[in-house]
Amino acid sequence: MLTAFSVFPVLVPWAVWSLEPQGWRRTAIALLGVLGTIVGGVFLARLLLYGGHATSGGEYIHYTVGGGSVIGLTFAYVAATCLPMLLSGERALVAYGCANALAVALLSYLTAAGFASIWCFWAAITSFLIAMYLRRSVSPVVSDAVAAR
């Protein structure tokens, strides 16, 4: 829960931001990075102060974070983790961002209670695909980082 709720909303927008050259896209993604950092911080505080719970929901795990309603945080979380790829100048990331947005809509429609559980599975796939993309990317940022090793 700590990784899914507190790390992922911070990591995703800043990872996409690191691939963007200077310009309006990078600025917009940075704002989403700030949003994700705030969301991750709030979830972290709630997890530390109130705890989290996981119960069986049948085909999924039902996660809850203490401290009250998380509906607003959930919308901010989705914005911070989905919009950066849609705003990217990299075609592959935009295409994946579209698939990601479709997955969020489908998961929300299928099960609101199991959304976090199924989203975690989707996030694992996302993490793998982003790692593969970074390994194959010809982006100057990635090339410079690899050359520095």
Residue 146 domain-assigned (yes or no): no
Please tell me the pTM assigned to this model. 0.77
For the beta carbon of residue 99, count every other beta carbon within 10 angstroms: 15
Give the pLDDT confidence score for residue 146 in this predicted structure.
47
Say if CB 113 and CB 72 are below 8 A apart. Answer: no
123 in any annotated domain: yes
The pLDDT assigned to 30 comes to 97
Q: For residues 6, 130, 138 and 94, what is the CA-based torsion angle, rounded to 10 degrees?
A: -90
In a domain, 149, yes or no: no
Question: Which of helix, strand or coil describes residue 53?
Answer: strand
From the CA atom positions of the chain, what is the Rg in Å?
Answer: 16
Name residues of the chain where pLDDT drops below 70: 111-117, 137-149
The pLDDT, as a whole number, for residue 139 is 54
Identify whether 126 is part of a domain.
Answer: yes
* pLDDT at residue 41 in the model: 96
Does a structural domain hold residue 15?
Answer: yes
* Residue 60 CB-half CA count within 13 A: 17
pLDDT of residue 3: 83
pLDDT for 149: 46
The rounded distance, in Å, linking the Cα atoms of 126 and 141 is 20
Reported as type and span, the H/E element at residue 65 is: strand 61-65
Q: Is residue 108 part of a domain?
A: yes
Domain span including residue 42 = 2-141
Instruction: Report if residue 147 sits inside a domain.
Output: no
Report the domain count for the chain: 1
Tell me 64's DSSP state: E
